[in-house]
Amino acid sequence: MSSIAISCAKFCREKEVLDQLVAVTGYTVVRDRDLIEKTAAQFQVDREKVERALFGPPSVFNKFTLERENILARCKSVIAEELKQVDTIYYGMIGLLIPQTVTHVLRVGLFDETKNRLQRALDEGLAEKKALKIMKKSDVSSGDLAHYIYRKPANDRSLYDIFLPMNATSVEKAVQIIMENDMKTALLQTAQSLQAVDDMALAARVERALLSKGCTNQIQCQEGNVTVYINESVFSFEHTADTLKSLVRGVAGVGEVEVVAGKDYHVSVYRDCAFELPAKVLLVDDEQEFVQTLSDRLNTRNYGSYPVFDGEQAMELLESETPDVMVLDLKMPGMQGVDVLRQTKKAKPEIEVIILTGHGSEEDRKVCLDLGAYAYLQKPVDIAELTKLIDTAHEKVAKAKVCRC
């Protein structure tokens, strides 16, 4: 008894292959949308955030917040529960999250050249422009996820037990090849394969524990024992290792813990790991050199800052992002800061806005504070004063999030 994971490019006759496999095997189908719904429900995460973690693009703040990594770790936990069952077809990008150590899952890749895929889309009645758009979006999503997990393209043959080029394989032949391999003894669920599922679940729990402290260390689990790799610059290996061990040992089910230097480890002469997630700070100012310098200075102080250069860019970004704090210039070409403040507080009132301007007046100050600005500062500003305000604004946001929970 085994299961099948089908990963594919769009317009590779994948739906026909799936339908025939279900007809022949009677297997239950688990799709990407099923994983998204279960992950969102089990971990109380917005469905849109789970979709974004799988399909991208990641948040502009992701390197500071590690939101994608956190959500994908939760997805792995959900998949690990599913993998205890057999007679299942995992259909879509979900298959890329299943480690190759889980040997009772047959990994199948269905791919083809762009010109052949486009012709099939045209045969289905799609306009060429729309078909190309669908193909590009799908290819970017699957390619991004495959690179994130394996550092390989989605159509790399080494990712699959069976790689089927659909320009040279009929649907019937594809199903026949899959079925012949699915019945092999090597794909039966064994104690070793089930242990790999348990290790997958444990690794996901350890990842979540470390990510909650801002750590992105590579994890390996084998029969409940955990190896953590340090692949970054740290000031004190011993201190970092002790902290990591303490975090990992707090995870249920962990046996022995070992921390080792990875291939990218080197000693830092500046500082050790922070073990905390920074505030997300959006900087909005048309003085590009100033705002980029400010962003760099904040990042070196462990703030997750991202600069944009006018009000229109800020409002466009807020359609998909929710920073904790916005540092906003008042006088800008085009959309003025007061309008950005007004619209931000209307659309996302939880964002705390600090006005930082060189051209404001006492009347401007009153208007901004009445609109809900957290603080109003004149340029030039001392970086210590600004970071103190960002800290207190972030604390207010964090407390509000806890209350909403």
pLDDT digits (tens, 9 = 90+) for 244-275: 999 999 999 999 999 998 887 766 444 445 55
Closest CA to 78 of 182, 192, 208: 208
Q: Output Rg (C-alpha) for the chain, integer angstroms.
A: 25
Run of H or E including 279: none
Two tokens, residue 193:
């394969």
* Rounded Cα gap, residues 223 and 230, in angstroms: 21
Two tokens, residue 259:
């921390």
Closest CA to 6 of 190, 154, 206: 154
* Rounded Cα gap, residues 397 and 402, in angstroms: 9
* Rounded Cα gap, residues 181 and 4, in angstroms: 10
Give the model confidence (pLDDT) of 36-53 as tens digits: 999 999 999 999 999 999
Q: Is 80 helix (H, G, I), strand (E, B) or coil?
A: helix
Closest CA to 205 of 96, 402, 54, 70: 70
Centroid of chain to Cα 262: 23
Give the model confidence (pLDDT) of 222-244 as tens digits: 999 999 998 877 777 888 899 99
Distances in Å between the alpha carbon of 1 and those of 87, 184, 200, 226, 304? 7, 9, 20, 29, 48
Q: Is 108 helix (H, G, I), strand (E, B) or coil?
A: strand
**390 neighbors 327 (Cβ within 8 angstroms):** yes
- Residue 304 CB-half CA count within 13 A: 21
Distances in Å between the alpha carbon of 47 and those of 11, 32, 33, 34, 72? 26, 12, 10, 11, 13
Run of H or E including 59: none
In the predicted model, is pLDDT for residue 358 greater than 90?
no
Phi, psi of 7 (to 5 degrees): -110, 145
Q: Is 109 helix (H, G, I), strand (E, B) or coil?
A: strand
Q: Taking residues 354-361, what's their average pLDDT?
A: 87
Residue labelled with tokens 């207190």 = 392
Give pLDDT, residue 403: 65
Two tokens, residue 17:
């292959």
**96 neighbors 77 (Cβ within 8 angstroms):** no
Q: Which residues contact 261 (CB under 8 A, 6 or more apart)?
A: 229, 230, 237
Q: Where are the beta strands (DSSP E) in 347-398?
A: 352-357, 375-378
270-290 burial code (b ≥16 CB/10 A, e <16)? eeebeeebbbbbbbbbbeeeb
Give the model confidence (pLDDT) of 96-126 as tens digits: 999 999 999 999 999 999 999 999 999 999 9
Give pLDDT, residue 275: 56
Give pLDDT, residue 399: 83
All structural domains of the chain: 3-187 (3.40.50.300), 213-267 (no CATH), 280-404 (3.40.50.2300)
* Rounded Cα gap, residues 253 and 257, in angstroms: 11
With a pLDDT cut of 90, the percent of the chain lying above it is 79
In the predicted model, is pLDDT for residue 189 greater than 80?
yes
Give the model confidence (pLDDT) of 193-221 as tens digits: 999 999 999 999 999 999 998 888 899 99
**334 neighbors 362 (Cβ within 8 angstroms):** no
Closest CA to 83 of 100, 69, 54, 104: 104
Closest CA to 74 of 109, 104, 108, 37: 37
* Rounded Cα gap, residues 340 and 330, in angstroms: 9
- Residue 293 CB-half CA count within 13 A: 6
Give the model confidence (pLDDT) of 119-161 as tens digits: 999 999 999 999 999 999 999 999 999 999 999 999 999 999 9
